[in-house]
Structure 1
């Protein structure tokens, strides 16, 4: 009790002393932040202690870190993985949305990391779905592609024409399917590429071989049709039938899937068909040429029986000639296939128009001595036979045309009827009297015809000599 009284007295004394001092200017006290009532607790005051308010402060939330490059890279890698299975083709909407979200996440990576991370999680999820869709799509495409290639090979009967290469392709197909089913992406792509290469190569080679057989068949038929149109059955009957038989045999081998045998037979058939056409044309030309040779021979033999007047006016007696002896020593040879045709050669088409033009130019009478004209014609005829036997019918015709020109020039100097001048004491021969003879013209006024024909030997019509041979031209 005494202590309480003492404490009270001391407190009052101190209060009185302090109240007697001059009060200082008021100082603005700092305003403390209001503390929510719910965080304040009632102070516990013990006896004799001053009450001091206690405030509980809530701990600060740690600062959110920006999105790291590694987080962005993981999302980008997920999209790249999907691209490896062509997800943009099989899941274009998902991939477009994923790329859009990735771009937005990059923009928010610092300003709103939480939102950015949510977007990145969505990108990964979409990329995974797109990857699965791309993988399944590629599988389906691969299976369909393999089946399509197999069907394509079967369409051209690769299993029949080329069984061994075809089975090798099927083995490659099986290996490709195995890699696809195991989802070995890179190995499956390599196996698929090899499958396409093998299948395409087999198809291309086989297709070319089949088309080559078809070309051989077409060419052979073309030659045979042309030969038939030119009457090969008359000019090359045996060759025509043999080529047709080999053509049918070659196509039988082709239908039995024997490409090599078919090719060999059809090549020979084509060769024989070309020979047939060649022989048909050659033998027809040969027949025409032979007829021309015989005609020129007859003209030569006929011309050799004529008397001619030489360039000096001399009458040369006939010297009959026959070409039979020369033909016996140099017989006309028939054309044969082996002599004229090989597999690689082409038929020669003769330009008869050019030959005709040359004939017309050569038909001009040559400037030669009359006595040598017939001999030159004989030489040309013999050369024409040589060219004919060599198969050079154009050249043979040209030589025969030249021979005919020489024969024509020789005949122009031929003498038909002649009269030998006779001396008589009374009424000796003169052109007037000779023309008056009944066996001549029976008309004295035609004497100028005799003079004109014999001007080389009768420069002056009033001067003729006994023994002189006069050419009597026909009355026209």
Structure 2
């Protein structure tokens, strides 16, 4: 605001000095009539002189100090040199307050604030360097501690990150980014201390965990008596555990960890080995006892005495080896005892097994021929279970009892075979019937008219076949039965739907044919479609569905083609009619009936013919006439404006030519009083082309007639140029007209007419000769009937009249039009 007021004051002073400058007075002449002069206005007072003030402090000067303060803050001057920083900020605030009122004092304060900020920055940098050196010493101590706990082995990735962080801190320090370097160093120390603490804690936890696991392993080994079954391996584990403990205590953590893991793995492996061997021995012992007992049940002591005796001796030997803690030998003895008992049992039952084997083979062959194990696995399994029961029983029962039960089993197998073969035959019959009915349904296009039902029937048939292939006889019979019934229902449903669909589609198509008036626009084709529909109805009654559907498809396709064709022709006819009507309406707007009457007449005739053809349902003739009508109507709309523009341009050319000819007949008087005779003009050439005489000139000076006159008119050079410019524009219009560019020609003619009109208006003046006792007041009262219009005469004659109160007799004054 202050700058704006200062600028306004300077402008006011310059304006006052210019206004007060004096000019020489005009020459005085003897006045014709004394007039009272208006009272003189008082001279303006000179404005007071304004002293120049010093330039106010700029924002750039203040910003320099602010930047220096920010630089000190970035090195933590608020902490390391708070007093100097506070002093610099206060001094800056004072300088900002005085920047307008006392710029010199403000600049001095800015200099002091900048100096204080620089001192604060220097002190902060010095203290940061001291702190950074302490950080380096502390980092050395932490590095040694990390080496002591082998951090490079336990956490190599984190140690690598710490070294990278240290390098970043060093780079920041070397690039004098002390604040960022201090933050980086603080984070580095905190991360290193945390890593050391975590590694130390992890080592202690690992040692305690090792001790706990070692005690658990020791107890497990005692539970399985490993010191008795494997004394050498147990002694080795104890020695290795003592060595691992020594490594932990001496600080060799990595080697101690590896040794501890090895001990724990070995102890666990030894425990599992001993426990597995003991369980294996107990299992072998139980198996041997069971085998000896089974052999006794089939009287193996009598039928295989030597083998039974050997089995008993091996069993006793196994018990003795276990008592002496020889697990492997005990296991082997029990295994051999079981094998001997099994051989004794087999020898005992071998005598009666041959008789039963004949019946078993006969039963097995019948079941294989029938594939009973696949069609009726549960029944076959039950028979085999009974055979197995007999196999077990004849080892303990007499031969005649076993034979009787075997005969009953063979009889049961024969009954089972007869029943199963009958069910298989029934399943094949159902599958055959379902296939036949499904084929009949497909013949009547059930996949189209009953897709869900035919799909369901096919799925049931496939499920039945799948069940049959999977030897699930009952399921296959169930699915084949359902498939047969579903296929039958689908066959009749497809027939019904086929006929209903045809009727519905034909009814819809018939409605569309009526909508497009096909019987009138295409009577022969429509009659053919109805005739085909009657033939289709007869085929349906004869149940010739395939032929009926084929003809129905052809008839509907032909009907749809006819409907589509008629719709396209009708739509095209309607669209053409709309376009022609729009063009005819547009032709009225552009007055085409005047400028393109032949085209409009042709368009109207073809339009009427097209309407008449459409009323007679002759679409082809209607389309042809509408297209011709559109062609002529668009041609009329296109050429009418051009013809109109051509005629208008021609009329405008004639009118403007007359205007310029009239203006050329005016006599022009220049400001020096010379008279320019009219040079008549007819279009592009003057009216008279006779050569001028030697004593005749274009501009001829002559006396202006006294008194009032409206024969001669006054015009200056610019006024005369209007007429020349009008002629030039007129000639350009003629050229554009010859080139066929009527719009441009019209614009040239309009400009020429405007200039000619302006010339004529500016030259409509009169000449008045001043008489004694005349003044401008009386002259304007006489000429305009209004004495207050005297400034008009003064302005028109300003080069002659220097003072409106002083005019002289004999002056010829220009009287402009009011």
**Normalised-by-shorter TM-score class:** 0.5 to 0.7
Partner secondary structure for residue 407 of structure 1: helix
Kept in 2, the 8 Å contact 1:79–1:95? The answer is no
Of 400, 407, 431, 2:756 maps to 407
Aligned 1:283-298 pairs, distance under 5 A:
292-293=652-653, 295-298=655-658
Match status 1:378 vs 2:727: yes
Aligned 1:58-457 pairs, distance under 5 A:
60-61=414-415, 62-63=417-418, 64-65=420-421, 67=424, 74=432, 75=434, 78-79=437-438, 82=441, 85-86=445-446, 90=450, 96=456, 99-100=459-460, 103=463, 106-107=466-467, 113=473, 116-117=476-477, 119-146=479-506, 148-162=508-522, 183=544, 185=546, 193-227=553-587, 243-274=603-634, 292-293=652-653, 295-309=655-669, 314-322=674-682, 373-381=722-730, 383-384=732-733, 394-408=743-757, 410-411=759-760, 414=763, 416-417=765-766, 435-436=770-771, 453=797, 455=799
Give the structure-2-normalised TM-score.
Answer: 0.35
Kept in 1, the 8 Å contact 2:513–2:563? The answer is yes
Shift in alpha-carbon separation, 1:453–1:387, aligned structure 2, 3 A: same
Per-residue deviation, 1:313: 7.2
d(CA) in 1 for partners of 2:634, 2:478:
83
Q: Deviations over 1:252-302 (max 9, x none)?
A: 111222223222322333344445656776677677666654553342232
Count the aligned residue pairs. 363
Q: Deviations over 1:315-363 (max 9, x none)?
A: 321223455999xxxxxxxxxxxxxxxxxxxxxxxxxxxxxxxxxxxxx
Shift in alpha-carbon separation, 1:311–1:388, aligned structure 2, 3 A: farther
Unaligned runs of 5+ in 2: 1-396, 406-410, 687-716, 781-789, 804-810
Q: Which has the higher contact order (CA 8 A, sep 6+)?
A: 1
Kept in 2, the 8 Å contact 1:246–1:268? The answer is yes
Kept in 2, the 8 Å contact 1:370–1:410? The answer is yes
Q: Deviations over 1:209-258 (max 9, x none)?
A: 11111122222233334555777777777765654443222111112222
Per-residue deviation, 1:398: 1.5
Kept in 1, the 8 Å contact 2:646–2:742? The answer is yes
d(CA) in 2 for partners of 1:86, 1:288:
79
Partner secondary structure for residue 680 of structure 2: coil
RMSD, aligned α-carbons: 5.5
Deviates more, 1:101-110 or 1:117-126: 101-110
d(CA) in 2 for partners of 1:270, 1:160:
26
Unaligned runs of 5+ in 1: 1-26, 35-56, 327-367, 420-433, 462-468
Kept in 1, the 8 Å contact 2:645–2:743? The answer is no
Q: Deviations over 1:107-151 (max 9, x none)?
A: 477676367436524522431331232133213323543454355
Partner secondary structure for residue 472 of structure 1: strand
d(CA) in 1 for partners of 2:430, 2:801:
131
Kept in 2, the 8 Å contact 1:310–1:371? The answer is no
d(CA) in 1 for partners of 2:484, 2:454:
11
Partner secondary structure for residue 315 of structure 1: strand
d(CA) in 2 for partners of 1:441, 1:316:
28
d(CA) in 1 for partners of 2:751, 2:817:
31
Q: Deviations over 1:133-192 (max 9, x none)?
A: 21332133235434543553343233443456657767877887798767474x766665
